[in-house]
Each structure stands twice: as structure tokens, then as C-alpha cells.
Amino acid sequence: MSKHLVTGGAGFIGSHLCRRLVNQGNEVIAVDNFLAGTIKNIKDLLGCSNFLFIEGDLRNEELFIEVAKGVDCIWAIAANMGGIKMITDVAADIVRDNIRLNINALEACRINKVPHYFYSSSACVYPEYRQQDINVIPLKETDAFPAQPDQFYGWEKIFAERCVYAYKKDYSLNVRVVRFHNIFGEAYNAFDSQRGKAPAHMIIKAIKHPNPPFVVWGDGKQTRSFCYIDDCIDGILKLMASDYDEPINIGSDRLISMTDLANMALSLASKDAELKYDLTKPQGVRGRNSDNTLVKKVLNWSPQVSLEKGMEITYKWAVEHYDELEGL
């Protein structure tokens, strides 16, 4: 057994990670201030003897240092972030909150001499100039520089990566950095209208259709790749067990348009619809896809759950828990 601190432990990725670590017999401390997370995501863990939940705001450096005492690994997953509308509309709050969180995490790791440190970065670090075509060339890790993310969220993430490696250089921290590519799956807050991602939004629209009508943001031709949450957790646990300490992609390398994703959600709901496109809404870069060459080589990892299967699992969960979902 080892002792893990998961920041954002009541969030989407954080709650799934907590569950996996607990089920493996580890001792887990989860901390969340409920800015984006919800206690409902971890309600099944609250009675476990090897799980402790602390409601707290890790933008407070003293609190972070205190809760990190005696842990073997800090998983720095907490972030102020959301879907494309939120990260388009909000800049200063995202930059301020996340820089505080990440510096506090590194300081807590340094001061407490924590043996292992994980930082959750994002595919948003990749330059806008490499993502201007719907048939985008998959993004490999070395493409991050010269830097030109399309949102402040991406700039904050790439700066935080550099902070991680500054601490590695000066204080010999044992670090791991993952760039997530659109992780999706079941969680209560994953369906929030401001913070949820495209698969969840499409599923909710399919459940609600035909009232209101099914609206796709942008022209529907923009493309992304989506990775199911179970595959994501498999990948980051493999990374932590490896000796690879440079940034690495965790995502799917299958590209799909927003129109095709919308039709996939409608098919799961056994509905047919004429899609309406709203060109006034933000749509982000034209295309983004993960190059998985490196992660296959160093971790022997690739997604095992197809997009269709992941969407089916998530859709069924959303229907079952619809009345409990937040911020629809």
C-alpha cells in the first residue's frame, strides 16, 4: 500500500483515479473545493477505510503543504477549467487559480519531499498554427514549441509544465506530465453546461431532443479525438509505474467531426434530427488529434475502448442518473 494525494478528487478525472487507487488497496486522500467537483462523484468511496475526503481550497498554500505530509505521490489534477465556451470567455480567473494551484502543489512536493509528482496538462498547449485544418496532422509532443496556444488556458498549462521541470531541475523532483486529449465518460459534473466537454453535451442534447432542437456549435466540420476515462486512468497509472519523465500524450488518435459525434449521440437515443448549426458560438481550433507514437513506444499503451462503446456507456449512465446531473 502507498499513500496518494489526489487534488480535484471529487472532479471527473480525479474521482475515477481515486476509485481505481482505492480498489488497488492504496490509501487515498482526496481534496476538493467543489468549484467544479461534487461529492456525488465519490459517494461510493466515503465509507472506505482507505479513503479520506477533505473539503478544502488548495489555492491556500499552507493547507496544501499540510495535507501533503507523509504522502508518496501527489496527483495534481485540480484545475479551474471547462468546455470551449468557458475557456473562451474566462481568462484571468483560470490563469490565476491554476497557477496558484500548480505552484502550491510543487512547493508541497518540495517541502514534504514527496517521492512522486504527477501533473495533468492538456492538449490545449499545442500551437494554434498546427490546428487550422479539419484534417489535422496528429499532434506529437515535440510540436508544443514554438508555443502559440489558442486560449489563455493553454498558455497557463504550458507555463505550468515549465514550472514542473524547473522544480525537477533545481530540487530533483521525480515528475510525470501528461497532456490529456479530450477525456470523456461518466461523472455527475461532466455534464455541466459550462464545464462539460462535447461528448457529454451531445448526449444531453440527444436525450432532450426534439425540445429543444439539436444545435451544434460552429459549422460541425471541426474535428477532435476523444478518449474514454477508463483508458485514461490505465494510461496515467502506466506512466507513474514507468521511468519516463517528459510530457506525453494520453488520448485517442481517431479523429471525428462534431456533426458525426452529434449523429452518434442521436443514434444512441434512437432519434433522428436535422442538425442546426450556430456559427455565433465558439468552436475552438479547426482540428485536434493525438499522435500516440510515443506513448505506444514507451508505455505500450493505446485506447482499448472504442468511441462508440465509450459513448454508449456514458449515454446509458446519463439516462440512469439524469435527474441527479448538475448544471444542465
Is residue 76 helix, strand or coil? strand
What residues have CB less than 8 Å from 237, skipping those under 6 apart?
Answer: 20
Indicate the class that CATH gives domain 3-183+227-250. alpha beta
- DSSP three-state, residue 216: strand
pLDDT value of residue 140: 98
| 164-183 mean pLDDT | 98
Helix (H, G, I), strand (E, B) or coil at 169: helix
Query: Could you tell me which of 79, 109, 80 has the C-alpha nearest to residue 178?
Result: 79
Residue scoring higher pLDDT (56 or 323): 56
The model's pLDDT over 104-117, given as tens digits with 9 standing for 90+, comes to 999 999 999 999 99
60/109 Cα distance (integer angstroms): 14
Average pLDDT, the chain: 96
Nearest to 26 by CA among 43, 9, 58, 49: 49
What does the pLDDT average to over 213-227? Answer: 97
Q: Is 235 exposed, middle or buried (0-12, 13-18, 19+ CB in 10 A)?
A: buried
Domain 190-224+255-288+306-324 has CATH 3.90.25.10: yes
- Confirm if 255 and 212 have CB atoms less than 8 A apart: no
pLDDT in tens, 18-39: 999 999 999 999 999 999 999 9
Name the segment(s) of the chain with CATH classification 3.90.25.10: 190-224+255-288+306-324
CATH 3.40.50.720-classified regions of the chain? 3-183+227-250
Q: According to the model, what pLDDT value does residue 318 have?
A: 96
Query: Is residue 42 predicted with pLDDT exceeding 90?
Result: yes
Residue 149 contacts residue 207 (beta carbons within 8 Å): no
Residue from 153, 167, 188, 315 carrying the catalytic annotation: 153
Query: Residues 181, 252: contact at Cβ < 8 Å?
Result: yes
Mean pLDDT in residue range 153-158: 97
Assess whether pLDDT exceeds 70 at residue 229. yes
Tell me whether residue 153 is one of the annotated catalytic residues. Answer: yes
* Rounded Cα–Cα distance for residues 177 and 245 (Å): 7
* Secondary structure element (H or E) that encloses residue 315, with its range: helix 307-320
